[in-house]
Structure formats: C-alpha cells, structure tokens
A and B are shown apart, each in its own frame.
Chain A
Amino acid sequence: KAGVTQTPRYLIKTRGQQVTLSCSPISGHRSVSWYQQTPGQGLQFLFEYFSETQRNKGNFPGRFSGRQFSNSRSEMNVSTLELGDSALYLCASSLDDREAFFGQGTRLTVV
C-alpha cells in the first residue's frame, strides 16, 4: 500500500513568488492535513480538508491556501513568499481522524 506522497521534495523560491505543493494521500483516505515545521515555531497546523471541503484552519495569513480534489489529492499554495516561509511542509492523510499518516515533506527555501 503506497504511503502519502508529497511533491516536490525540495524547492527554492525567491521572495515575492508563489509556490504550489502537492500531496497524494493513501488510497481511501479522505482527510488531508497540512503542517508547517520550522526550528523556531515547531509543528504548526495549517489546514485540513475532508471530501473537498476545508474542515479546519490554523492561524496563518491568507497567503496560505489549499484545496482538495475529488480524488482526495490536495495542494497548498503560498503567495507572495517571505523569507519566514522557509520550512518543511508536511502533509498527512487520515481515514478516521484517529491516526494521521505523514508524507516525507517538502522542504521550501525562500531566498
């Protein structure tokens, strides 16, 4: 059974640009969540999607957005990138909200 797949693994972007990260959940999982991990702030919840609807949202500015498609794949977008957006972005999928399976993450570097 394939795990959670995140693409790309590494990204380098320039301040002011936008970026789109992709996450393919485990087959059959309808919930997809996104987290940002930085050395200073640790792991912080961005948002969660369930059956194409945003179910929960963390405390991030509107530059951070996401969506989920009918096949449960999810994307997150960050517009007008800032240096502070440099982080490891983790996606997790869940079948029943009792166990989240994480992908390898996308390492975003903003220069």
Chain B
Amino acid sequence: AQSVTQLGSHVSVSEGALVLLRCNYSSSVPPYLFWYVQYPNQGLQLLLKYTSAATLVKGINGFEAEFKKSETSFHLTKPSAHMSDAAEYFCAVTGSGTSYGKLTFGQGTILTVHP
C-alpha cells in the first residue's frame, strides 16, 4: 500500500528565504507523485507532478521538486518565498494498477511567510 509522510506540520520562513517542504513516500511500484496547495476555504490546486520522466520537476509559481528514489523522497522547494505562498501544502501518491485513480495524501504542511 502507498503512504506519504510529510515532515513538519508547520514551516515558517521569512519573505525571500528558501522554502523547503519535505515529503517521503512508500510505494511498492514506481509511483506518480504530486504536490498540491490549498488556500483557506478552497479546493486543491496542483503545483507539480512526477510521472517517471525527469527527476527534477518544475511547477507553477516557481516551485520545483526532485524525485530521489534512493531516499524515497519528493521534497518541494522554492528559492525565494513570497507572502502569497502562505498556504497549506499536500504531498500525494497514486495507487497502482486499478488504484491509479486513488490519491493518498500526507497530513499537510502549513507554510507561514513572515515579512
């Protein structure tokens, strides 16, 4: 069964600082991995996805993530935080076989950006 662990339920950074949100996954087969962002009272917006192509994935709003199979990690980074990045971020992994349509999410990381 697939699982996702996000290290740190809260991360706080200063505006302009590096953002690093950690995600480790467990999967019995090569996974598809995703990062989503959620603003208050909103749905989930896809930031980026890994689907077994390039290991360094670039997403929207300057975010990127690197798939490291040896570390079973898919950490999300952004070189310079902006106030508008404050939100909750979720890492997710798909199932396998006929369960591809099922996403398993991490517990989420709330990102706070200080001026």
- Chain A contacts to B: CB under 8 angstroms: 4, 6, 31, 33, 35, 42-43, 45, 48, 50, 55-56, 58, 90, 92, 94, 97-105, 107
Contact = CB atoms under 8 A, between A and B. Distances in A.
B103 A33 contact: yes
Given A98-B32, A98-B49, A98-B51, A45 B102 contact: yes
Interface in B59-115: 90, 92, 94-95, 98-108
Indicate the member of B42, B43, B49, B104 with the most A CB atoms within 10 Å: B43
B44 interface: yes
A38 B11 CA distance: 20
Given A31-B101, A56-B99, A102 B108 contact: no
Contacts of A90: 43-44
Contacts of A42: 105-108
B49 A102 contact: no
B17 interface: no
A30 to B, nearest CB: 10
Contact of B43 (A48, A97, A104): A104
Contact of A99 (B46, B106, B107): B46
Nearest to B51: A98
Given A31-B101, A33-B101, A104 B94 contact: no
Interface of B: 32, 34, 36, 41-46, 49, 51, 90, 92, 94-95, 98-108
Contacts of B32: 98
Indicate the member of B34, B94, B100 with the most A CB atoms within 10 Å: B100
A107 B95 contact: no
Contact of A56 (B34, B90, B101, B106): B101
A43 B105 contact: yes
A30 B108 CA distance: 28
A39 to B, nearest CB: 10
Nearest to A3: B43
